[in-house]
């Protein structure tokens, strides 16, 4: 490790270097045997088929900041990484590959299909993990898990068997998306909603008592053959007197009831709807609520079955035409309307899907949901940040219905249930007896005791819903159902960080599963972050094609810059952030560039500091306040911080004394230390990032470094120089520690160079700074603000009248306040040095003629720079007048556009707003220019 930094910061090499170092040295490997206070998190497992997107980048950055902070505060920290097997996504991907080869998975067979799936996982499935590594995550890679690895698969089987044995898993009929072309169920991810130009057919259903009829409308007339009711809204005065009566279903001549259900929209159509429970998701729910028959009229190939009466064997679309013709012939057709509507299509089969009744496995959810509700109501567990998501989570638990957990796929956890097909002539039917067991041998043993020695078993071909295995994630990754040391020490986990969009899909399932299997909630806090929106404030999506690739921004600006950009914009938990300033054509981002500039500032300031420390480390230089404990304990209220001394140089008789600027920066630093911890503990990460940015760039670089430059020179007083070196080194190292959770790579590189630490040491394992409260002096900071604002005002006045940067000026500071004059006098040398003031007068009143001058005000201090002999007043007036004339022309032009109704009414709203903003800015400039001209007379 060199003692100086290279002239320029290279993020790509630096980041790769430290990511490799952390992993090879196992810096983040957790050990429960070390004891102490635990802090643990599990990564929300991304799909193994996935790729890094901005949501990942934000969520993982938030997690990494929190984890790194708690590790540095001394907690025994574990962060478990891993990926989800993504049943549906893998199937879609592999079946598309097979389609190119002109074969189906059925042609290939289950065993060969799974071989290909595992081969793909080994060869390509790690790309998302590589991408996550690019973010510099401080996870324990030695504990990386996959939802289908051995241990987690055993946990899934154990959970299923326990739930079944305890009566919480059962089989029942459920509607699935069915693709007649491929004769398979398809998931929602495999369904494309297409807007089509169709028809809306209106039919009459006669009342059975011959007193009239009800008119219904449908886009799928063939399904009327399976109708088992007509529904109206119970609050609809037109029809509520008919509830309980019956109508006669045309063609089928079957009496079906008229039911009342609030799902029916009174304003839509005629207010009457046909109910086909076996062929429509909404009708399915109504059918269950009203105990209606479920009549399936369709075969798996899309033709109509024996329940379709005279249309048996006909293709569904052929039957549609024939049903309409029959209804017209029988006098039941009222009208046919053109109707544009959305139809779900199979992505694989390219045909309209059919909701089809199928036998599936379900979890009886109510007991588990009620237990999770009890934890929430009695213990506020888990605690949501922000709190408003608690109600959303609670409402979801209250409304939960039984969970269908089986999927007609091959990639995934095959359901541990074996069917006794020997009992039903070798076919699996809805009534086939089955046994649930942990292994095939155990299933055989159970089946023999139930059916005898000759029983023949076949395992259910379906797999479990992916959310079933991920619902066990917080404890299965720690070794459950075994009572491992990890599980005992790190469970329940501390925090879950996730997006609001999966509170229902994942968070609720984890709390229900954990409550049932472990008797505890799986995490203490749930931090809900918002979405990352595109440059126009719109949600990113593949459909819109407006996604922003975080890897491209990382390659261009560095990981730390992207991380800092994202977290700095998090105004509060749950708030969406916007990628403002992103140029889609060039791939450039002004926001990320600003963070990259901050990394360069951090690098350059650190390099300057080290060049002036004369190859001494902070440890060699010593603490600038060694007489005070680092945490401030034991310091009485009467401790005079002004008199704190540092050790003497080279064994001399006396050490240096902290000067005003030293005491100020140490007060500001300790304020920031204190506030940063509070912010991170409360998940106010955006506020923490902004404060650190402003402290380092503003207080430390722009002011303190500038103020001590002359003290760091070779010929300065030795004791004063050492105090300056100690303070610079101490604050710099502390700030690197504060910034490390946010920008881990660059801070690790600088810290190693600054401290000359050994090859096995890491900034990530250093103690997070603690505030020395004895050094926090709000009064001093307020006084110093007067000095800073005075210097800033003098600089602004110089710039306004074009005084050359190196030219010395005379300045007068007038204040009637004894306190303000005392402060200004104590910082007189700072004012003269940084504002380039040769003659400085600090006075209670202005006596005599000052002549033409530029003036400003700071508090009650009047700041004046006499201009005689420094500025050509005539030339300056002419220059200001020329600027004013130009600005007034702009005001006239913009005002004209805004007074034109055609422009205001027809131009895009953002264009009109931009014009208004430009007008306001021009008017402000004109006001300032007029004021300056008045001052010049």
What is the secondary structure of 651-709 as a DSSP string?
G-S-EEE--HHHHHHHHHHHHHHHHHHHHHHTT-HHHHHHHHHIIIIIIIIIIIIHHHT
pLDDT level of residue 633 (50, 70, 90 thresholds): very low
The arithmetic mean of pLDDT across residues 226-249, rounded, is: 96
CB of 239 closer than 8 Å to CB of 367: no
pLDDT at 632: 37
pLDDT at 637: 34
CB of 757 closer than 8 Å to CB of 618: no
Say whether pLDDT at 646 is over 60: no
Say whether pLDDT at 651 is over 80: no
Pairing of strands 457-459, 403-404: unpaired
Q: Measuring CA to CA, which residue among 476, 480, 415 is closest to residue 147?
A: 476
Q: What is the rounded average pLDDT for all residues in the chain?
A: 90
The arithmetic mean of pLDDT across residues 21-45, rounded, is: 97
The arithmetic mean of pLDDT across residues 679-700, rounded, is: 96
CB of 233 closer than 8 Å to CB of 181: no
Distance CA 308, CA 887 (A): 81
How buried is residue 65: exposed, middle or buried, by Cβ count under 10 Å (0-12/13-18/19+)? Answer: buried
Residue whose entry in the numeric block shows the structure tokens 């790769």:
16
Q: Measuring CA to CA, which residue among 737, 744, 865, 855 is closest to residue 803?
A: 865
Backbone angles phi, psi at 334, to 5 degrees: -90, -55
The arithmetic mean of pLDDT across residues 876-887, rounded, is: 86
DSSP E strand stretches across 132-210? 145-146, 169-179, 184-186, 191-206
Q: What percent of the chain has pLDDT over 70?
A: 94
Helix (H) or strand (E) holding 37: none
pTM of the model: 0.84
Distance CA 765, CA 755 (A): 14
Q: Measuring CA to CA, which residue among 166, 516, 491 is closest to residue 373?
A: 516
The lowest-confidence range among 431-435, 617-621, 888-892 is 431-435
The arithmetic mean of pLDDT across residues 596-613, rounded, is: 97
pLDDT at 4: 84
Distance CA 446, CA 420 (A): 11
Spell 372-389 as b/e; 16+ CB within 10 A means b. bbebbeeeebbbbbeeeb
The arithmetic mean of pLDDT across residues 170-189, rounded, is: 78
357-388 tens-digit pLDDT: 888 888 999 999 999 999 999 999 999 999 99
pLDDT level of residue 645 (50, 70, 90 thresholds): very low
Q: What's the start-to-end Cα distance of the chain, in Å?
A: 62
pLDDT at 8: 95
How buried is residue 501: exposed, middle or buried, by Cβ count under 10 Å (0-12/13-18/19+)? Answer: exposed
733-743 tens-digit pLDDT: 999 999 999 99
509-521 tens-digit pLDDT: 999 999 999 999 9
- Residue 575 has a CB neighbour count (10 Å cut-off) of 13
Say whether pLDDT at 864 is over 70: yes
Distance CA 780, CA 818 (A): 16
Say whether pLDDT at 635 is over 80: no
DSSP-derived secondary structure for 118-136: HHHHHHHTTHHHHHHHHTT
Pairing of strands 82-83, 417-420: unpaired
Spell 760-776 as b/e; 16+ CB within 10 A means b. eebbbebebbbbbebbb
CB of 473 closer than 8 Å to CB of 42: yes
CA 656 vs. chain centroid, Å, equals 49
pLDDT at 628: 44
3-state secondary structure of 841: strand
Pairing of strands 76-80, 38-42: parallel
The arithmetic mean of pLDDT across residues 667-675, rounded, is: 97
């Amino acid at each position: 490790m060199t003692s100086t930094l290279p002239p320029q910061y290279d993020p790509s090499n630096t980041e790769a270097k430290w990511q490799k170092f952390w992993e090879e040295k196992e810096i983040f490997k957790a050990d429960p045997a070390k004891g102490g206070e635990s802090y643990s998190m599990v990564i929300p497992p991304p799909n193994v088929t996935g790729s890094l997107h901005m949501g990942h980048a934000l969520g993982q950055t938030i997690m990494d900041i929190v984890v790194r902070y708690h590790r540095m505060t001394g907690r025994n920290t574990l962060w478990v990484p891993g990926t989800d097997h993504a049943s549906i996504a893998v199937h879609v991907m592999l079946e598309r590959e097979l389609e190119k080869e002109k074969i189906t998975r059925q042609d290939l067979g289950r065993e060969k299909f799974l071989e290909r799936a595992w081969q793909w996982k080994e060869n390509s499935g790690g790309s998302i993990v590589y991408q996550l590594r690019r973010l510099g995550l401080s996870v324990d890679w030695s504990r990386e898990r996959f939802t289908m690895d051995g241990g987690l698969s055993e946990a899934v089987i154990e959970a299923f068997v326990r739930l079944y044995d305890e009566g919480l898993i059962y089989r029942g009929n459920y509607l699935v998306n069915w693709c007649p072309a491929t004769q398979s169920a398809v998931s929602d991810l495999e369904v494309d909603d297409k807007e089509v130009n169709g028809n809306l057919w209106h039919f009459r259903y006669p009342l059975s008592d011959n007193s009239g009829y009800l008119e219904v409308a449908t886009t799928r007339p063939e399904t009327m053959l399976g109708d088992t009711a007509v529904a109206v809204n119970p609050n609809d005065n037109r029809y509520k007197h008919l509830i309980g009566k019956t109508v006669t279903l045309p063609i089928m001549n079957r009496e079906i009831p008229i039911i009342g259900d609030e799902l029916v929209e009174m304003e839509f159509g005629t207010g009457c709807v046909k109910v086909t429970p076996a062929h429509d998701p909404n009708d399915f729910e109504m059918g269950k609520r009203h105990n209606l028959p479920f009549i399936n009229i369709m075969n798996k190939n899309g033709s109509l079955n024996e329940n379709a009466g005279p249309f048996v064997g006909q293709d569904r679309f052929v039957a549609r035409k024939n049903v309409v013709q029959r209804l017209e012939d029988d006098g039941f057709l009222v009208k046919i309307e053109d109707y544009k509507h959305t139809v779900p299509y199979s992505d694989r089969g390219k045909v309209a899907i059919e909701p089809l009744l199928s036998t599936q496995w379900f979890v009886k959810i109510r007991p588990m949901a009620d237990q999770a509700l009890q934890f929430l109501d009695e213990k506020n567990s888990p605690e949501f940040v922000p709190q408003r998501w608690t109600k959303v989570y609670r409402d979801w638990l209250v409304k939960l219905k039984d969970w269908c957990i089986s999927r007609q796929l091959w990639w995934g956890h095959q359901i541990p249930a074996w069917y006794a097909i020997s009992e039903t002539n070798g076919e699996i039917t809805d009534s086939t007896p089955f046994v649930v067991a942990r292994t095939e041998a155990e299933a055989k043993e159970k089946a023999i005791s139930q059916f005898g020695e000759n029983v023949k078993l076949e395992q259910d071909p379906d797999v479990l819903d992916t959310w079933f295995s991920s619902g066990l994630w917080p404890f299965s990754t720690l070794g459950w159902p075994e009572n491992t040391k990890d599980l005992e020490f790190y469970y329940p986990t501390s925090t879950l960080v996730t997006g609001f969009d999966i509170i229902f899909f994942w968070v609720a399932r984890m709390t229900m599963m954990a409550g049932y299997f472990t008797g505890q909630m799986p995490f203490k806090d749930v931090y809900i972050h918002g979405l990352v929106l595109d440059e126009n404030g719109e949600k990113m999506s593949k459909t819109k094609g407006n996604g922003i690739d975080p890897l491209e921004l990382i390659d261009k600006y560095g990981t730390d810059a992207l991380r800092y950009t994202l977290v700095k914009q998090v105004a509060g938990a749950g708030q969406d952030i916007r990628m403002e300033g992103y140029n889609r054509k060039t791939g450039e981002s002004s926001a990320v560039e600003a963070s990259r500039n901050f990394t360069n500032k951090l690098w350059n300031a650190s390099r300057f500091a080290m060049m002036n420390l004369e190859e001494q480390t902070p440890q060699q230089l010593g603490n600038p306040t060694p007489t005070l404990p680092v945490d401030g304990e034991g310091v009485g209220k009467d401790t005079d911080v002004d008199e704190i001394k540092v050790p003497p140089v080279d064994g001399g008789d006396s050490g240096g004394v902290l000067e005003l600027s030293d005491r100020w920066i140490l007060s500001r630093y300790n304020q920031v230390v204190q506030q940063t911890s509070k912010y991170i503990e409360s998940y106010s990460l955006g506020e923490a990032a902004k404060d650190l940015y402003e402290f380092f760039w503003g207080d430390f670089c722009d002011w303190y470094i500038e103020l001590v430059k002359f003290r760091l020179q070779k010929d300065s007083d030795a004791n004063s120089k050492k105090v300056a070196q100690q303070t610079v080194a101490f604050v710099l190292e502390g700030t690197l520690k504060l910034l490390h959770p946010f920008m881990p790579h660059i801070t690790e590189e600088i810290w190693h160079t600054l401290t000359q630490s050994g090859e096995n040491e890491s900034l990530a394992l250093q103690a997070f700074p603690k505030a020395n409260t004895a050094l926090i002096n709000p009064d001093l900071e307020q006084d110093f603000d007067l000095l800073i604002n005075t210097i800033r005002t003098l600089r602004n006045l110089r710039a306004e009248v074009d005084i050359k940067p190196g030219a010395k000026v005379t300045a007068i500071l007038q204040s009637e306040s004894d306190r303000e004059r005392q402060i200004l006098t104590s910082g007189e040398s700072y004012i003269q040095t940084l504002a380039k003031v040769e003659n400085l007068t600090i006075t209670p009143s202005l006596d005599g003629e000052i002549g033409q001058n530029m003036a400003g005000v700071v508090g009650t201090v009047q700041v004046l720079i006499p201009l005689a002999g420094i500025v050509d007043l005539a030339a300056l007036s002419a220059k200001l007048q020329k600027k004013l004339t130009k600005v007034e022309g702009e005001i006239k032009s913009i005002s004209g556009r805004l007074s034109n109704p055609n422009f205001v009414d027809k131009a895009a709203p953002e264009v009109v707003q931009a014009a208004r903003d430009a007008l306001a800015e021009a008017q402000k400039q004109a006001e300032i220019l007029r004021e300056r001209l008045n001052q010049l007379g």
